[in-house]
């Protein structure tokens, strides 16, 4: 659960909403596929300390945090 005050600007969900984390093998490939399919993409893939990630929104408005963990 994330405090709305710490959510990225403009991305705080509705009260009672949730954010789903989806671990994938290739965040960039999923981003390209979802973009081509018209999924509501909220950010481009970026590198974070934990790995590569991007944000999307499902049809019900839930945030989707799609990521690939960094190799350790």
Q: pLDDT, tens digit, for every residue of 34-68?
A: 999 999 999 999 999 999 999 999 998 889 999 99
Q: With beta carbons less than 8 A apart as the criterion, state whether 22 and 65 touch.
A: yes
Local confidence band at 71 (pLDDT 50, 70, 90 cut-offs): confident
Report how far residue 18's alpha carbon sits from residue 62's, in angstroms, rounded to the nearest whole number: 6
Q: How far is CA 71 from CA 25, 27, 44, 49, in A?
A: 11, 14, 20, 11
pTM over the 0.85 mark: no
Report how far residue 33's alpha carbon sits from residue 13's, in angstroms, rounded to the nearest whole number: 24
Q: Cite the beta strand spans of 1-72 per DSSP E.
A: 19-23, 40-41, 46-48, 51-57, 63-69
Q: What pLDDT score was predicted for residue 45?
A: 98
């Amino acid at each position: 659960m994330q405090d709305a005050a710490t959510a990225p600007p403009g991305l705080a969900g509705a009260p009672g909403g949730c954010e789903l984390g989806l671990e994938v093998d290739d965040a960039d490939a999923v981003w390209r596929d979802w973009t081509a399919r018209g999924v509501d993409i909220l950010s481009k893939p970026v590198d974070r300390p934990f790995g590569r990630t991007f944000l999307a929104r499902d049809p019900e408005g839930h945030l989707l945090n799609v990521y690939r963990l960094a190799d350790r």
